Amino acid sequence: MRSDASSAPLPTHYSPPRRNGSFLKSIGAIIWKDLAAEMRSRELLTAMLVFALLVILIFNFALDLDATTRKAATPGILWATFAFAGTLGLNRSMALEKDSGCFDGLLLAPVDRSAIYFGKLISNLVFMLIVEAVVLPVYSVLYNTNLFNPGLVSVILLGSIGYVAVGTLLSSMAVQTRTRDVLLPILLFPVIIPILIAAVNASSGFLQGIAQAEIMPYINLLLVYDVIFTAIAFMVFDFIVEE
Amino acid sequence: MEPQPVTLKLLNTLSILFFLGALGMVFVYAPLEVTMNYVQKIFYFHTANAWVGMLGFLAAAVAGIIYLVNHDLKWDIIEVAAIEISLVFFLIAILSGSIWARPSWGTYWTWEPRLTTAAILEMVYIACLLLRQGIDDPDRRARFSAVYTLIGSISVPITFLSIRLFRTIHPVLIGSGSASAQGSFDMTPRMLVTLFFTLGTFSVIFITLFWHRIRLGQLSQLVDQRKLEE
Amino acid sequence: MIVVKKLVKRFGLKTVLRGLNFAVQDGEFVALLGPNGSGKTTFLRILSSLARATSGEISVAGFPLPSQSSAVRRNLGVLSHLPLLYGDLTADENLHFYGRMYDISDLNQRVDQVLELVGLLPRRRELVRTFSRGMQQRLAIGRAILHDPQVLLFDEPHTGLDQDACDMLDRLLREFSGQGRTIVMTSHDLSRVEDLASRFDVLSRGVITASIGRNDLGRNGLAEFYRLALAN
């Protein structure tokens, strides 16, 4: 059944892939794809970083604090910055899929749809962590404070996970509406308030060297939020992407 | 469109009657509170509205989940109705709380847990309505709306608990009302009766408005259908 | 290979597909014709599990939809007028990505094969962003058959292609058909499709209104058949 010699021979049979193997493999593929594409264009990271630094700049002039007050305000300023810059990343990440119809390409893969959710979640998380990893030293230098605090880092990690868990789900929705980019912050911010409360207070606690016991309730809140919302998002993702 | 069923007409009348009754009870029957006088009377409306708003909140969440299960657009109409009405009731609760706060504590707003959570809930509602506005396909709109309502209905109670946690760890600042300050007057039996009557009244009003809003939604759907058939 | 019974698709109150019946045997090449807005794209999206039917029975490659949509997708290659390719990745990387998503064994070898088939081997390390529309579509074809699917669903694949690209696409379509794959393709270009497909179905007003095999086309050919089918 082969036609002319210039065509390549096509093997006819593949054994059906093991279900679980391809679930993890596709998550890995999506993460790799997002990171590779971003390393090429660097659009997303540049936008997020520049925006984050601009926000810190604005806070500097808008609040004009003395050293002591600023120290107390640091966690708040940091988290506000992360929250705003984060929406940029979430929006862009989904828009890239939607624009060349690539979302369909993902949906056509023979895996459970939730693999797409987890893949995007992790790559969004990586981008957010990269931005945070740059902002922390920059802030430390600009304001001569030491932010290299393991407790702070763990709070940032936990808070970012929760933020991205809900954010990935909501950005999948927002990208399918007419109002798109504008809609994501409106949808996201009211429902991530618990993260902000817990993260700002826990960050503050660690920076001020407050006793572990007093910080733990906030850490627990972050953990609970992360688990609950990742689970919910994973369960309802199918409803968002089917037609 | 069918005319209003008898029960609904009855509810219309009952709503008005109860409301007048509630007004009477609040202003005449209930005694004047010692410190706050007439201002305290707004408490009945404030609490009743908040309580009934909660009903709407629950109704919206449940309706959303049911829609996700059976894809019957009827539940989407119910969900929107519940959201819109709950939004209004909570707004009245917030405003009345604000009016109460001013003479009592000298401020229109306090960042205490219930008030703050109510405000955040309003934002969630508005976000949901904006989300719906941006989608043309009715099925997708209903699905997204249901999912967001689900997320909101779990996030908002967690928010309430978070703010409470925050308040217990950090002492309340001077000038803002503490959680215990709200409603912290001793209620005489007559006040309790008035409160329950007002609660009942606003529940009836809620159900009446809810029903009307659902009918409006169904009518709207009918209009869309006729337009397509042209 | 594809069996569709009484397929109904409603978007809210608008019914797009009204009890559609459709069947394709193993190895058939069916051209799906119809006016704009007749529901061809919606139908193909449902067959490819990207959309869900409101009611009806569907089975593709022996698996029912939507319950076993994953198994269906494993055996399906889809091409639309959107290339479904990532502009910031190279041709090579795009294929490797999809290869991993489909869990293809011996991926490197397979990618080489496919790139050679669509004539993009020399440009494999170039970013897809720099490709012309014709080249993108060729790569998209490669993506579609990467996992060697039994069934191909192509939605207006010739859109926006120049003559050369169209000819290559036609050559590939003939080759795929010759290999025994089942193909369903929608198209507006009657003259082109007349030489490719073995059967022609017309989708109009939400149902298949007419169907004819190539050998039964009268003296006046496909254009006449199509005109008559729509006139009824």
Residue B184 has pLDDT above 70, yes or no: no
Contacts of C48 in chain A (CB under 8 A): 108
Shortest distance between the Cα of A40 and any Cα of chain B, in A, equals 33
Cβ-defined contacts of B39-43 (< 8 Å, 24+): B39/B99, B39/B100, B39/B103, B39/B104, B40/B100, B40/B185, B42/B96, B42/B99, B42/B100, B43/B100, B43/B183
Q: How confident is the model at residue B172 (pLDDT cuts 50, 70, 90)?
A: low
Give tens-digit pLDDT for B76-129: 999 999 999 999 999 999 998 888 778 777 788 878 888 889 999 999 999 999
Q: Which residue of B has its CA nearest to A220?
A: B162
- pLDDT at site A21: 56
Backbone angles phi, psi at B174, to 5 degrees: -65, 135
Give tens-digit pLDDT for C69-117: 888 999 999 998 788 899 889 999 999 999 999 988 888 999 999 999 8
Give tens-digit pLDDT for A179-204: 888 999 999 999 999 999 999 999 99
Backbone angles phi, psi at A209, to 5 degrees: 70, 30
Q: Which residue of C has its CA nearest to B224?
A: C13
Q: How far is CA B5 from CA B125, B172, B204, B205, B223, in A?
A: 30, 51, 16, 16, 20
Give tens-digit pLDDT for B207-220: 999 999 999 999 98
Tell me the CA end-to-end span of chain B in Å, nearest whole number. 18
Task: Say which of A3, A22, A100 has its CB closest to residue C103.
Answer: A22
Once rounded to an integer, what is the mean pLDDT over residues C170-174?
90
Residue C37 has pLDDT above 60, yes or no: yes
Q: Which amino acid is at A90?
A: L
Q: Reduced to 3 states, what is the DSSP secondary structure of residue C107? A: helix
Structure tokens given for B9: 């007409």
C182-186 vs C151-155, strand pairing mode = parallel
Cβ contact B65:B150 at 8 Å: yes
In chain B, which among 19-78 make CB contacts under 8 A with chain A? 68
Counting as contact any 3 or more CB pairs under 8 A, the partners of B are A, C
Alpha-carbon torsion (B25, B26, B29, B30), positive or negative: positive
- pLDDT at site A229: 95
In DSSP notation, A101-168 reads: THHHHHHTSSS-THHHHHHHHHHHHHHHHHHHHHHHHHHHHHHT-----HHHHHHHHHHHHHHHHHHH
- pLDDT at site B178: 42
Query: How many whole angstroms from its chain centre is CA A39?
Result: 17
Report the complex ipTM. 0.87
Q: Reduced to 3 states, what is the DSSP secondary structure of residue A22? A: helix
Shortest distance between the Cα of A31 and any Cα of chain B, in A, equals 25
- Rounded to an integer, what distance in angstroms lies between the CA atom of residue B105 and that of residue C139? 70
Contacts of A240 in chain B (CB under 8 A): 143-144, 147
Shortest distance between the Cα of A202 and any Cα of chain B, in A, equals 11
Q: Which residues are CB-neighbours of B24 under 8 A, at least 6 positions away?
A: none
Question: Do B155 and A194 lie within an 8 Å CB cutoff?
Answer: yes
Look over chain A and give the mean of its residue pLDDT values, rounded to a whole number: 87
Shortest distance between the Cα of C10 and any Cα of chain B, in A, equals 9
Asked if the peptide bond before residue C66 counts as cis, ω within 30 degrees of 0, the response is yes
Shortest distance between the Cα of C223 and any Cα of chain A, in A, equals 29
Computed on alpha carbons and rounded to an integer, the radius of gyration of chain B in Å comes to: 20
- pLDDT at site A168: 96
- Rounded to an integer, what distance in angstroms lies between the CA atom of residue B25 and that of residue B204? 16
Backbone angles phi, psi at A82, to 5 degrees: -65, -40
* Length of chain C, in residues: 232
Q: How confident is the model at residue A237 (pLDDT cuts 50, 70, 90)?
A: very high
Question: Do A214 and B151 lie within an 8 Å CB cutoff?
Answer: no
Q: How confident is the model at residue B19 (pLDDT cuts 50, 70, 90)?
A: confident
The DSSP secondary-structure symbol of C86 reads: -
- Which of C9, C10, C14, C15 would you mutate first to test chain B, the one with the most B CBs within 10 A? C14
A46 or B1, greater pLDDT: A46
Contacts of B73 in chain C (CB under 8 A): 12
Question: Do B133 and A190 lie within an 8 Å CB cutoff?
Answer: no
- Rounded to an integer, what distance in angstroms lies between the CA atom of residue C225 and that of residue C211? 9
**Which stretch of A7-21, C32-46, C147-161 has the lowest confidence by average pLDDT?**
A7-21
Residue C230 has pLDDT above 80, yes or no: no
Cβ-defined contacts of A205-214 (< 8 Å, 24+): A205/A151, A206/A149, A206/A151, A206/A152, A206/A155, A207/A71, A207/A74, A207/A75, A207/A147, A207/A149, A207/A152, A214/B169
Structure tokens given for A208: 């001020």
Residue B14 has pLDDT above 60, yes or no: yes
Residue C16 has pLDDT above 50, yes or no: yes
Once rounded to an integer, what is the mean pLDDT over residues C52-76?
89
Q: How confident is the model at residue C62 (pLDDT cuts 50, 70, 90)?
A: confident
C208 closest CA partner among C13, C60, C23: C23
Structure tokens given for B66: 């049911």
B129 or C61, greater pLDDT: B129
In chain C, which among 99-138 make CB contacts under 8 A with chain A? 100-105, 110, 113-114, 116-117, 127
Question: Do C51 and A243 lie within an 8 Å CB cutoff?
Answer: yes
Residue C78: beta bridge partners?
Answer: C153
- pLDDT at site C220: 66
Shortest distance between the Cα of B149 and any Cα of chain C, in A, equals 20
Task: Say which of C88, C104, C110 has its CB closest to residue A37.
Answer: C88
Q: What percentage of chain C exceeds 90 in pLDDT?
A: 31
Task: Say which of B130, B133, B158 has its CB closest to residue A194.
Answer: B158
In DSSP notation, B73-113 reads: HHHHHHHHHHHHHHHHHHHHHHHHHHHHHHHHHS-S----H
Q: Is some CB atom of chain A closer than 8 A to the CB atom of C11? A: no
- Rounded to an integer, what distance in angstroms lies between the CA atom of residue C77 and that of residue A51? 41
Residue C79: beta bridge partners?
Answer: C154
Question: Do C101 and A32 lie within an 8 Å CB cutoff?
Answer: no
B154 closest CA partner among A95, A124, C196, A192: A192
Structure tokens given for A44: 């997303």
Shortest distance between the Cα of A172 and any Cα of chain C, in A, equals 15
CA atoms within 13 A on the CB side of B203: 8
Computed on alpha carbons and rounded to an integer, the radius of gyration of chain A in Å comes to: 21
- Rounded to an integer, what distance in angstroms lies between the CA atom of residue C42 and that of residue B66? 27
Question: Do B224 and C12 lie within an 8 Å CB cutoff?
Answer: yes
Exposed/middle/buried for residue A67 (C-beta within 10 Å: 0-12, 13-18, 19+): exposed
**Which stretch of B153-162, B183-192, C107-116 has the lowest confidence by average pLDDT?**
B183-192
